[in-house]
């Protein structure tokens, strides 16, 4: 397969999201039809020679088939039970017999060492175990949720999270995180949008690659690095109705242009593992999909790492309706490309019979085992199977907290700020904090380890406000609960607002309402929270709404009455301090929305990177694509975000306005430059964004596609010229060919530069 020359990642996040074929396609003989249960064996992808091959071959030659199959098994642990406790017998026995490859949900130096000792010192071959854990946005130090991190438009935020998390986790015996999640989605009802980076493949790819590199570093065996896992492969973000685990029906072109680019970026960044997704893809469950797991991932992309199932995902091929029993489920998953089975035990239970009957080749088993063993060697587990118990990190350090605080403030988005209500001066005499999250520690977000949430809750907004303005009178009234219809507390909240010079209304979603298995049919503020905002607005006193949530919300009619709205997301352990930093102007908000905010649920899906229609929106023509009862477009578009200062972005300029397709295919690029100026009186951050649109293509293209961004800090009156380079991967697209065809066609490309997906600055590049 001939690939594009890849460019290095720009420091602020401007690079190609994926490489591809230019007007060519992969060898058709290497690709199989997307079927579950095909009589044809997918075969074993060729392995590129690399480190540890000799050691792996030597060990493989000594292993029995039972021991090989054991390496394919991952069993769950419990957070609070060490070896010898209830619920650990199965894993301990399997480790002792050499029939276990990995354990998830075990952590702590003492507990992990005790289990590792059983595997290393009591099993026949002494193969160490691989310990995995959902370290999604922090271990002890909880950073903002990934969706919030994407709002920073600064990959260094994700890198810092991964560096801190990897150091804390590895010191606690964890070798492997099931992150980053890189499911692009246009579905805000889907709770797992909180765990990803939003609706754009380019932004997601940039953050995915940054986080993979930071988790893994240059040496996986280092004491402060862990193996990353790109999940969920693939198209999970397209789940129908936004319901978790649901069906996805997707064309090959959309699969390759929308859902696959972040995974390709992760593979190019050297990700060690990939996790299969729960959904079907065109009728075939991902755990049985040879086309994606083997044809694309392992053959086209030459991925040499481990493919792990999701929790019980192999056995769930039975209720999916493609496997009759556990044996068939194991066969389908192995042949499709799954190398390790999480939780369910079909491979280890039925594998020997399947090999004996010729339904699975031992060569395929050896391939899967080799991938797992190579990862264990790369992690240094054979040389150093135990973690230093004296070096275990048991709490967030001051530096880690400082990093989390910076990340949280950098991720916040100022949605609205009329009459300069924010920032609030520190000389303010009295403040009211109202709302269910004003004095709540439920600001960590989804996917936080229970021990971390219990030991290290988030700093509350109330405590942080009091600390920020020690000379002010600060009063708190909850007003309403996070959920429920009781409004009896609203009068007290109104009284507090009337007596204060400024009120902060802190509302949003409990963490439990986002994340896995947390789809919502109504994504407005839960309970009576909107009534609280409306009551505060009627006081006529200055106030600002602070949103703490794990997804885009339909902000409803209350928005018109709120002079200022700060989107804080679920900010993590330093939540209150970071929110106060922004409210009082210690930090100028510079984040941008990584996902569109719909006006109502009935608009969904609504996203900036949609295709046009033959009858695009026209307010004066009924017979165009629109709703009769809604204005066109989202409430807030992708890329939107205000500042405490103002910026002007000049028109984009091209280094040349024409370039041959042949030159692009050979690796040539075009530079786009634009000058951004701080026209206000404060220092601030602006995110300059570049979008492209192919006016006429073989397949209709999105009206805009993000292909570059820079986050810059400017003093009042300061200017900076930002430069982007566009190459073939930015200007072409994948077709419906299942073998992988990437086209780069002559024609006009409109290039937009500005501060959101609604950018108006434009120039045109001609491909000849």
Strands 502-508, 430-434: pairing is: parallel
Q: Identify the three-state secondary structure at position 483.
A: coil
How far is it, in rounded angstroms, from Cα 696 to Cα 767? 12
Q: Name the DSSP class of 201.
A: H
Number of other residues whose CB lies within 10 A of the CB of residue 433 = 29
Residue carrying structure tokens 């030159």: 663
50 with 107: CB under 8 angstroms? no
332 with 317: CB under 8 angstroms? yes
Rama region for 717: left / alpha / beta (φ>0; ψ in -120 to 50; rest): left
What's the half-sphere exposure (Cβ side, CA atoms, 13 Å) at 668? Answer: 13
660 with 692: CB under 8 angstroms? no
663 with 760: CB under 8 angstroms? no
Catalytic residues: 310
624 with 618: CB under 8 angstroms? yes
Reduced 3-state DSSP string for 126-170: CCCCEEEECCCCCCCCCCCCHHHHHHCCCHHHHHHHHHHHHHHHH
Report the candidate in 411, 369, 412, 386 with the shortest Cα–Cα distance to residue 61.
369
Angle at 484 between CA 517 and CA 482, to 5 degrees: 70
Q: Identify the three-state secondary structure at position 506.
A: strand
Instruction: Enumerate the β-bridge partners of residue 432.
Output: 475, 503
How far is it, in rounded angstroms, from Cα 449 to Cα 135? 8
- Give the end-to-end CA distance of the chain in Å, rounded to a whole number: 25
Angle at 738 between CA 732 and CA 742, to 5 degrees: 15
Instruction: Enumerate the β-bridge partners of residue 742.
Output: 24, 734
How far is it, in rounded angstroms, from Cα 703 to Cα 753? 14
Residue 214, preceding peptide bond in cis (omega within 30° of 0):
no
732 with 741: CB under 8 angstroms? no
239 with 190: CB under 8 angstroms? yes
Strands of the sheet containing 413-417, edge to edge, are: 413-417, 564-567, 543-548, 502-508, 430-434, 473-477
Strands 102-104, 130-133: pairing is: parallel
């Amino acid at each position: 397969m001939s690939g594009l020359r890849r460019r290095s990642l720009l420091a602020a996040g401007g690079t190609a999201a994926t490489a591809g074929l230019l007007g060519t396609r992969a060898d058709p003989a290497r690709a199989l039809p997307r079927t579950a249960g095909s009589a044809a064996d997918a075969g074993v992808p060729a392995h590129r020679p690399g480190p540890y091959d000799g050691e792996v071959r030597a060990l493989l030659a000594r292993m029995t088939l039972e021991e090989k199959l054991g390496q394919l098994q991952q069993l769950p642990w419990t957070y609070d039970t060490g070896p010898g406790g209830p619920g650990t017998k199965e894993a301990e026995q399997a480790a002792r017999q050499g029939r276990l490859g990995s354990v998830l949900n075990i952590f702590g130096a003492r507990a992990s060492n005790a289990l590792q000792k059983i595997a290393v010192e009591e099993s026949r071959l002494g193969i160490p175990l691989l310990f995995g854990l959902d370290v999604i946005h922090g271990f002890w130090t909880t950073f903002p949720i990934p969706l919030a991190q994407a709002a920073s438009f600064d990959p260094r935020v994700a890198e810092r999270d991964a560096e801190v998390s990897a150091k804390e986790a590895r010191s606690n015996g964890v070798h492997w995180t099931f992150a980053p999640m890189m499911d692009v989605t246009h579905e805000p009802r889907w709770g797992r949008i909180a765990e990803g980076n939003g609706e754009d493949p380019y932004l997601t790819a940039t953050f995915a690659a940054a986080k993979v590199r930071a988790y893994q570093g240059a040496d996986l065996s280092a004491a402060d690095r862990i193996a990353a896992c790109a999940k969920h492969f693939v198209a999970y973000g397209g789940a129908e109705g936004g319901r978790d685990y649901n069906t996805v029906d997707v064309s090959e072109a959309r699969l390759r242009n929308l859902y696959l680019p972040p995974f390709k970026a992760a593979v190019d960044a050297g990700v060690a593992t990939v996790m299969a997704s729960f959904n079907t893809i065109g009728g075939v469950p991902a755990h049985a999909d040879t086309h994606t797991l083997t044809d694309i991932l392992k053959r086209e992309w030459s991925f040499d790492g481990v493919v792990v199932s999701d929790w019980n995902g192999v056995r769930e091929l039975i209720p999916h309706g493609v496997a009759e029993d556990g044996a068939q489920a194991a066969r389908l998953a192995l042949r499709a490309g799954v190398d390790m089975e999480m939780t369910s035990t079909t491979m280890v239970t039925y594998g020997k019979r399947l090999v004996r009957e010729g339904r699975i080749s031992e060569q395929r088993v050896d391939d899967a085992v080799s991938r797992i063993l190579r990862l264990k060697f790369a992690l240094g587990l054979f040389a150093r199977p135990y973690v230093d118990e004296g070096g275990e990190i048991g709490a967030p350090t001051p530096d880690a907290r400082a990093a989390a605080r910076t990340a949280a403030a950098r991720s916040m988005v100022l949605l609205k700020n009329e009459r300069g209500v924010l920032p609030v001066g520190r000389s303010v005499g009295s403040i009211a904090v109202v709302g269910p999250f004003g004095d709540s520690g439920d600001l960590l977000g989804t996917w936080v380890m229970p021990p971390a949430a219990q030991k290290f809750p988030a700093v509350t907004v109330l405590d942080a406000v009091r600390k920020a303005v020690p000379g002010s009178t600060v009063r708190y009234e909850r007003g309403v609960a996070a959920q429920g219809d009781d409004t009896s507390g609203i009068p007290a909240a109104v009284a507090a607002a009337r007596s204060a010079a400024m009120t902060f209304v802190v509302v949003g979603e409990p963490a439990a309402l986002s994340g896995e298995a947390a789809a919502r049919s109504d994504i407005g503020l839960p309970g009576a929270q909107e009534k609280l905002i409306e009551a505060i607005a009627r006081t006529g006193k200055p106030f600002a709404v602070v949103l703490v949530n794990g997804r885009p919300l339909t902000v409803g009619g209350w928005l018109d009455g709120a002079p200022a709205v700060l989107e804080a997301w679920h900010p993590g352990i330093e939540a209150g301090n970071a929110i106060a930093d922004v409210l009082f102007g210690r930090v100028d908000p510079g984040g941008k929305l990584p996902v569109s905010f719909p006006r109502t649920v009935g608009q969904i899906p609504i996203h900036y990177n949609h295709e046009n229609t033959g009858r695009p929106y026209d307010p004066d023509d009924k017979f165009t694509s629109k709703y009769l009862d809604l204005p066109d477009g989202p409430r807030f578009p992708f890329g939107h975000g205000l500042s405490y200062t103002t910026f002007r972005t000049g028109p984009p300029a091209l280094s040349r306005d024409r370039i041959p397709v042949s030159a692009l295919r050979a690796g040539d690029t075009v530079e786009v430059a634009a000058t951004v100026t701080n026209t206000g009186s404060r220092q601030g951050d602006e995110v300059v964004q570049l979008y492209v649109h192919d006016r006429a293509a073989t397949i209709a293209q999105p009206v805009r596609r993000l292909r570059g961004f820079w986050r810059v800090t400017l003093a009042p009156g300061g200017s900076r010229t930002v430069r982007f380079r566009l190459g073939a991967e930015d200007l072409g697209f994948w077709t419906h060919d299942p073998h992988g065809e990437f086209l780069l066609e002559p024609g006009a490309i409109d290039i937009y530069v500005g501060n959101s997906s609604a950018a108006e600055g434009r120039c045109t590049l001609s491909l000849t």
